[in-house]
Amino acid sequence: MIQSILSFFADGFMSLGWQQGVMYLIGAALIWLAVAKDYEPMLLLPIGFGAILVNLPYEVVWQHEGVSGALKILFDAGILTEIFPLLIFIGVGAMIEFAPLFQRPWVMLFGAAAHLGIFITIVVAVLIGFDLKEAASIGIIGAADGPTSIYVTTRFAKHLMGPITVVAYSYMSLVPIIQPPVVRMLTTKHERLIRMEAHDRKVPKIVTISFPIIVTLIASILVPIAAPLIGFLMFGNLIRECGVLDKLSLTAQNELSNLVTLLLGITVGASMRAGDFLQYKTLLIMGLGLVAFVADTASGVLFAKFLNLFLSKKINPMIGACGISAFPMASRVIQKMAFKDDPSNVILSHAVSANVSGQLGSVIAGGIVLALVPVLLQ
């Protein structure tokens, strides 16, 4: 009997291999980054713990003896159906204030230019051996928008969900490290010293209420497959701006976003099973994700420099780097760089405007990728 008992408890240890040990270390590293370094803790901590859970003996939390475990049920119900990322879009929309964009609508150009890295990365990924659907899922890391990355990957490359999500959120948290050297390399000190006057004015309520409705209509008509992405984001923003649903707006910004983010994180972590995650493709995705972020930043800055060739009143080209979706981190990073060269140079208003346009741009870019890939595969 004692031998049977010992054998029962030993089965778990005997089922473990070096791959599981590596995944435990990766999970622990993600948790450490979340706790010790404050790198996207709301996502990296549950992802790290989910990675540990799913690699425990026999993967009981995923599937055991033909019965789906708790995490597989959540994955099938929340990720494969795309419900989790769409619910997060409602929360994100409720958090966004588009007023800075209305103050300077021309900065929407940066929200487009700074996403060129997505398409550059897709091309590079195809050239090194990924198929088009995998390349599109990897390229969308450059959106600097976790939910968009998850949404596109769910459509095109579910088997890459784990590495793509981890890479996307990791690089989003590293924006303060990634962007400054790229911006400095592409600009002169004289360009970084350019001042930009801010003349903010009150935006009529009718504009802020109409905007999410009009954007949803136009974007969904032009790119129908993007309707869920745009629609849920703009619905959240409409709740915020209508002025009569303050409780729902706060719920979307806090309770809804926090709960869904928690479930999304641990569920994505559960997709990081050792056999799927520990492949050379994971390293390639890490490299390509960095390419996407660097190319995004460079595209935004170079586009601003291009515009300056035709403008009498110059734009500080650092503003272009704010066209990514990492809000408000990117605008803070750029303002900090401006202060470093000139402590009296305040460009935050323009940086925030460009950053807000980047949030909208990332969703539109995701929709364009969703629409183009099936066409190119025909």
Six token digits for residue 306? 């291009």
Residue with more model confidence, 216 or 40: 216
**Band (60; pLDDT cuts 50, 70, 90):** confident
Task: Establish if 50 belongs to a structural domain.
Answer: no
- Each residue of 304-353: pLDDT tens digit? 999 999 988 889 999 999 988 887 788 888 999 999 988 989 888 888 88
The letter for the amino acid at 75 is F
The Cα 321–Cα 310 span in angstroms is 19
pLDDT at 135 over 90: yes
Six token digits for residue 303? 């586009």
Q: Is the peptide bond before 317 cis (omega within 30 degrees of 0)?
A: no
Contacts of 336 (CB under 8 A, 6+ apart): none
The Cα 216–Cα 74 span in angstroms is 29
Total number of domains in the chain: 1
- Each residue of 236-263: pLDDT tens digit? 999 999 989 999 999 999 999 999 999 9
The Cα 205–Cα 286 span in angstroms is 43
β-pairing, 67-68 with 63-64?
A: antiparallel
Task: Establish if 22 belongs to a structural domain.
Answer: no
The Cα 152–Cα 364 span in angstroms is 12
The Cα 60–Cα 345 span in angstroms is 57
Task: Establish if 263 belongs to a structural domain.
Answer: yes
Q: What is the mean pLDDT of residues 266-287?
A: 89
> Residue 263: what pLDDT?
93
- Each residue of 167-188: pLDDT tens digit? 998 888 888 889 999 999 999 9
Expressed as residue numbers, the domain containing 348 is: 70-376
Task: Establish if 315 belongs to a structural domain.
Answer: yes
Task: Establish if 3 belongs to a structural domain.
Answer: no
Which of helix, strand or coil describes residue 309?
coil
Six token digits for residue 372? 């183009």
Six token digits for residue 166? 């981890």
Task: Establish if 322 belongs to a structural domain.
Answer: yes
pLDDT at 12 over 70: no
Average pLDDT, the chain: 89
**Band (138; pLDDT cuts 50, 70, 90):** very high
The Cα 359–Cα 109 span in angstroms is 13
- Each residue of 192-241: pLDDT tens digit? 999 988 777 788 899 999 999 999 999 899 888 889 999 999 999 999 99
pTM of the model: 0.86
The Cα 218–Cα 371 span in angstroms is 15
CB count, 10 Å around CB of 14?
9
Q: What is the mean pLDDT of residues 71-83?
A: 90
Task: Establish if 203 belongs to a structural domain.
Answer: yes
> Residue 15: what pLDDT?
60
Task: Establish if 44 belongs to a structural domain.
Answer: no
Buried (b) or exposed (e) across 124-147, using 16+ Cβ within 10 A? bbbeeebebbbbbbbbbbbbbbbb
pLDDT at 77 over 70: yes
